[in-house]
Structure 1
Amino acid sequence: MSTTQYLLGVHHGDEISWPEGVTVDQVMADVDAFNVKLREQGRWVFAGGLQPASSATVIDATGAEPVVTDGPYVESKEYLGGFWVIEATDLDEAMRWGTEASAACHGPVEVRPFQSE
């Protein structure tokens, strides 16, 4: 059975807000449990949390000389704060994993397939 890799992206702002009564300890425990399930089901590829967008460095080498600037490239209220890369047989399965990821991190999750090679 062939699989496709999908990105499950967690977007939030510099100030993360969870539903009332949800603590960071609960979120971390829920995410850890989700990570274990992904591994047990053989769907885990890679995951990580990212530092705030303000810690980013942007390099633009499209001109004669590279231009390096501090901060995010995109001006927005939300940015990619963390992610999972998973393997799934199809979009329906990836959406089921995305639903579980959203519940685990107590926030919205974007599901996006990788381009084929």
Structure 2
Amino acid sequence: MQYALVIYEDEALYGEENTPAWREIFAQHEAFAGELAQKGVLRGGAGLKPTATATTVRRVAGQCSLHDGPYAESKEQLGGFYVIEAPDLDAALAWARKLPMQGDGSVEVRPIIDGTT
């Protein structure tokens, strides 16, 4: 079964790109992704640019409108995700517990729909 590990954190903790704090957590994520790959469970993933670069398409009553920024403003932002292969939810949760984070935040673990069924 494939699972998405969806990362939510306060992006202000990272500062600007290429600062020491940013480079440190980036290195931690490279190591984490390397471990996932070494164990043969990594299927994909990506980090995301800051929320200031986001554009949201909102559909209401069949009409679309564009909005700068993320859909929901909150203390934590969607920062990136990993797609992993795990035999069950417990194994996926074990990987989520190891995921590096700069501060407080959360990792949503969600099964991916298998399009073959």
- TM tier relative to shorter chain: 0.7 to 0.9
TM (norm. structure 2) is: 0.76
- Does 2:8 align with 1:16? no
- Does 2:30 align with 1:32? yes
Computed over aligned residues only, the root mean square deviation of the Cα atoms, in angstroms, reads 2.2
CA offset at residue 48 of structure 1? Answer: 1.0
Unaligned runs of 5+ in 2: 15-19
Q: Provide the rounded CA distance (Å) in 2 between the counterparts of 1:70 and 1:63.
A: 20
CA offset at residue 50 of structure 1? Answer: 0.7
Q: Provide the rounded CA distance (Å) in 2 between the counterparts of 1:65 and 1:11.
A: 29
* 1:74-85 → structure 2 map (5 Å cutoff): 74-85=72-83
Question: For residue 48 of structure 2, what is the aligned residue in structure 1?
Answer: 50
Q: Secondary structure at the match of 2:36?
A: helix
TM (norm. structure 1) is: 0.76
Corresponding residue to 1:92 among 86, 90, 93: 90
Aligned residues: 108
Question: For residue 105 of structure 1, what is the aligned residue in structure 2?
Answer: 101
Identical-pair percentage: 37
